[in-house]
Structure 1
Amino acid sequence: MRTVLSFAFLCMTCLTVTAQGPNPSDVDSEQQIKQVIETFFDGFHKQDSTIIKSVSADQVVLQTTGRDQEGKTRFRNEEFSNFLTSICSIPDSIKFEEKLTSFSIQVDRTMANAWVGYEFWLNDTFSHCGINSFQLVNFDGDWKIIYLIDTRGKAGCMEE
């Protein structure tokens, strides 16, 4: 009986130790996912569709939501190809920057979600802020963006 209790205690101790802390592969995946998102925004700021496409799946769903001036919720879909065209056609005279303010990444096997806070600046003037919610899939070792929805607003943006 004593041997059985000792074995049970040993098993419980091992389970407790392995259950604590993130799986090292999840930590690696989180870093890879953060890098994918940073690469996406590198391409965004450089207005380079090739860079953006390098971290995106063949088909990407792109959506946005926010409130209009009357406070009504607005929601729209955008074709990814139209998004790329619009980014690449911004004139050099317009300076824009999306500053990433926070990351929260969850991973389960081949799927991940990244909740990324941002502030958007246009010609060095604050425009709006919100959250980018990225869905990613690991295609045989490469994390790719498959879905992006964002919120946009001005309220509560610059609070510390």
Structure 2
Amino acid sequence: MMSRSHPDGDPAPATRALPRPIALGPDEGLPLLDILTAGRLIHDEPGLPAVRVLRHCRDFGYLVVRVQLTGPPAVFRCPGRLTYQTEWVDPQDHTGWTVTVSGPAQRITNGYQQARYRLMLHAGPQTSHEHLLRIRPDNVTGYRLTRAPA
């Protein structure tokens, strides 16, 4: 019997077990947000895409995200609650993790706080199309994707 393989020599996907998700608690999931600086804001605000790729940082228990809109600045209104997701998946073996955070959100309008977060997020000069949002995580779900035996 001939075995199938990819051109790069790895076994065919059908012969490999799929990664198994293992639930992470909030104490395990939140620190993973510090590893990466980008993720997706998921919301259902009318007139805006349901998913937006953003930069983020954590500060004193809050998740701060930077939103850059392509349309007129008047279009954006911060919804009362937001969901943010990020993950890291190894391209070779498809193991890694995913973390989703949701909670009450507010727009950051204080000039000092804006300047501070812009430095933390490595942001350029502020434009009228940019907004900083603060999410207080009250629901954190995460999964580690592993091939380790149960």
- Which has the higher relative contact order, 1 or 2, with Cα contacts under 8 A spaced 6 or more apart? 2
Q: Same fold (TM over 0.5)?
A: no
Q: How high is the TM-score relative to the length of structure 1?
A: 0.24
Q: How high is the TM-score relative to the length of structure 2?
A: 0.25
**Radius of gyration: which is bigger?**
1
